[in-house]
Chain A
């Protein structure tokens, strides 16, 4: 007894002292999240996860290489705790949940008044519905009666509300509903849903190229549920911070309030909730479906690639991104200047995407550093080519290669990467698009004395965003409209000295509907500038096609604009396992277009990986509108002023690259959200009397 006690006492003390001392002596700093994560793993060091021990697994989780559910022993609680530390969702088995797509409820007018019927099914059979809206909920609660688990009830607005905690995904409600309003879907199905002609959609949601459920997130914002709002956006758009800053918001063009007065400032509301998340200090968990074990290579880490990778990852595939530039982001990092989208914001947003467990390899160029052959050998089963459009068009005029001439995207990109560019004192930027505006505004911030925009049509035809044009006007850019450059003239040292242009006048409308500019004979004019930047559009750089020695590469068809030939409904290229998205599929377009097509290509890739036929979405609403939802007048509105975007005064802008546009303050955001009519197909909340007027 005594020797045993002494022995154990001794050995315990020695071990304890050695360990506690060495933990002090050999202390090394490491990411504190590793220790936090490790504390929540089972710590059995069993190796069941495939990593070398719990600390290695914790490190892998923190570095985004493993899922929070990596531990094979850990229970759900542990997994959730880890997920919380990492700001991603637990990603356990994907369970289907009931999901109600109609939030119109009793807002739509009744079409039939027959008080005796209290069953949706009977109502649908007898009258084909109760309300004027052909797709909306009838609100008689067949689904509620069908639910065995008490998970459904008719909410205050007359449509069924699902309690996710109680729902088991049995599907009884879906069977009971005669209108396909309530659907039992998994997360993956919801993520891969595209707008269809029979959906209950507001005009803005139909217009948004990313198909974000706009009324839903504005409603959530209004209720103060900012996190839920961000989650709603992330169902369709992985880059709310970037889009909230740079999107030209086509959605606002179709806003019903915009028919009577100024449209709701949808994009600013998106930016408000996105900024709220970023400034809150913690990431909102992003749900991912369980791993499928399939591997996809995404080439190009721009908005299209990121979007495709994000959605593929969320539906459970393993995704690796290959990027030629030193960092991810593509055109939104290298083409959009800091004052519009700060790199810090972009870094934060991209990190959140990578944290889902997406690996990124930067500084590797497709066709040079790796090719189709090496991808196939590494086990990738599908490839997304989202290489963007980085090749500037040439003006095709004499003197274009002189010292002092630049090309738009090339100039912005080189500047973004920190390259020292020899600047002149004055500059002319040729072109009327967003890149041209980006160039002039950047040049102003670099201290140039005089910057011109030379455009061959007038201000009305400029394709750049209106806000951008206004901002550049405020900042003192001089516009030279109706001018077509004819040559660049050098001084004695071979440097740019003047730009010669021909004056134009507007003639008959051309195919694009804009009036064609016609040159005026003998109107050559000289403009004294030391720099000329041509920003007249870009096309994809398809040099990889010749560089990659893989024999199948010859089968990849390109269009005459150098974009990758594809079926726009499925984005599949001429080689079946290659898909495309973004600018390399369509030619230069909006960021939000790229995001939408990234998700669309993710859907096609998913189908392809599952071995199902890659077919277009049935009854797709892509680029179309539901005719009955487009109104010409919207009665019942009180005019209220649209929230004005806060911005930094012009005199403070020009000496740095500081972000110009600011986020709405909370009260202004709420006020703006109140302006949303929460439209659906037919119904909307008029400013007067809802829901009291309808309840009677």
Chain B
């Protein structure tokens, strides 16, 4: 009995100490990690979407909270003066979720450009969504009320050959962006002033 108690106690104390220690480390590194995520994941995509932005979309980022969504918005001022925003949505693929940064011109409701941010797909296939610009550039200039589904699903997007699932993931992410945009546009415009 005594042995059993010592087993339970040692294990419990050890796990508790571990939990505490990790909580401390986590809180210590939290800010730094957020910066890193911004810097390495989102910054390059935004740079690509708003190559000639006159402001700093990263610095001016803000967050919108509604009942069920929490969204980080990167506002961009395009060179022609029109206002645009970019935000990230997710779509699934078999190798993992695909993050899609979608840039939208607020004045025309047209897509400026999209970029794939994260992916954990098989090297050489899924990652083509990130590298193969001819695929993502299909989205440029499309109106936000377009059906972003793939062509065989009744939409307008050509799938990448050999990467159907990834293509589908991207189109799902785009469709999700459309939904969010339509729902949140008034709120976004209000925040942008």
Contacts and interface: CB of A to CB of B under 8 A. Distances in A.
* A adjacent to B, CB under 8 Å: yes
Nearest to A11: B15
B132 to A, nearest CB: 41
Interface string A4-26: 11111101110111011100100
A1 interface: yes
B12 A16 contact: yes
A24 B20 contact: no
A24 B12 CA distance: 19
A7 B10 CA distance: 16
A7 to B, nearest CB: 6
User: Which of A7, A12, A19, A20: most chain B Cβ within 10 A?
Assistant: A12
User: Which of B9, B19, B22: most chain A Cβ within 10 A?
Assistant: B19
A375 to B, nearest CB: 48
Task: Give the contact-size bracket for chain A.
Answer: 10 to 19
B22 A12 contact: no
B24 interface: yes
Nearest to B23: A4
Interface in A22-75: 24
Contacts of B10: 16
Given A9-B15, A12-B12, A4 B20 contact: yes
A12 B14 contact: yes
B27 interface: yes
Given A1-B24, A1-B27, A24-B4, A9 B11 contact: no
A15 B14 CA distance: 12
Chain B interface SS verdict (over half): helix
Contacts of A21: 4
Contact of A9 (B12, B24, B27): B12
A12 B7 CA distance: 10
Contact of A15 (B3, B9, B11, B22): B11
A20 B12 CA distance: 12
Interface string B62-78: 00000000000000000
B18 A8 contact: yes
Nearest to A2: B23
Given A1-B27, A24-B4, A16 B19 contact: no
B89 to A, nearest CB: 29
A5 B20 contact: yes
A17 B8 contact: yes
B16 interface: yes
A69 B75 CA distance: 66
Interface string B1-39: 001100111111111101110111011000000000000
Contacts of B13: 12
Contacts of A12: 11-16
Contacts of B23: 1, 4-5
A8 B4 contact: no
A511 to B, nearest CB: 77
A16 B16 contact: no
B22 A16 contact: no
Contacts of A9: 12, 15-16, 19
Contacts of B27: 1
Contacts of A17: 8
Contacts of B18: 8
Nearest to B7: A20
Interface in B114-137: none
B15 to A, nearest CB: 3
Given A8-B15, A11-B15, A1 B8 contact: no
A20 B7 CA distance: 7
A1 to B, nearest CB: 4
Contact of A1 (B9, B12, B20): B20
Contacts of B24: 1
A19 B18 CA distance: 20
Nearest to B18: A8
A4 B19 contact: yes
A13 B8 contact: yes
A53 B81 CA distance: 67
A7 B4 contact: no
A13 B23 CA distance: 19
A16 B11 contact: yes
Nearest to A4: B23
Nearest to B17: A8
Nearest to B9: A16
Nearest to B16: A9
A16 B10 CA distance: 9
A16 B20 contact: no
Nearest to A6: B19
B97 to A, nearest CB: 25
Contacts of B12: 9, 12-13, 16
Contacts of A7: 19
A16 to B, nearest CB: 4
Nearest to B3: A20
Nearest to A20: B4
A5 B16 contact: yes
Contacts of A13: 8, 11-12, 15
Contacts of B7: 16, 19-20
B21 to A, nearest CB: 9
A39 to B, nearest CB: 15
A675 B7 CA distance: 61
Interface string B156-173: 000000000000000000
A4 B22 CA distance: 8
A26 to B, nearest CB: 14
Interface in B26-64: 26-27
A7 B22 CA distance: 12
A8 B19 contact: yes
A281 to B, nearest CB: 28
A437 B45 CA distance: 100
A52 B7 CA distance: 26
A15 B7 CA distance: 10
Nearest to B6: A20
A12 B10 CA distance: 9
23 contacts: A1-B23, A1-B24, A4-B19, A4-B22, A4-B23, A5-B16, A5-B19, A6-B19, A8-B18, A8-B19, A11-B15, A12-B11, A12-B15, A13-B11, A13-B15, A15-B11, A16-B8, A16-B10, A16-B11, A16-B12, A17-B8, A20-B8, A24-B4
Instruction: Sort A-B residue pairs by CB-CB distance and give the 9 closest, nearest first.
Output: A8-B19, A12-B15, A16-B11, A16-B8, A4-B23, A20-B4, A9-B16, A12-B12, A8-B15
Interface of A: 1, 4-9, 11-13, 15-17, 19-21, 24
Given A5-B16, A9-B19, 7 more contacts: A1-B24, A4-B19, A5-B19, A5-B20, A12-B12, A12-B13, A13-B11
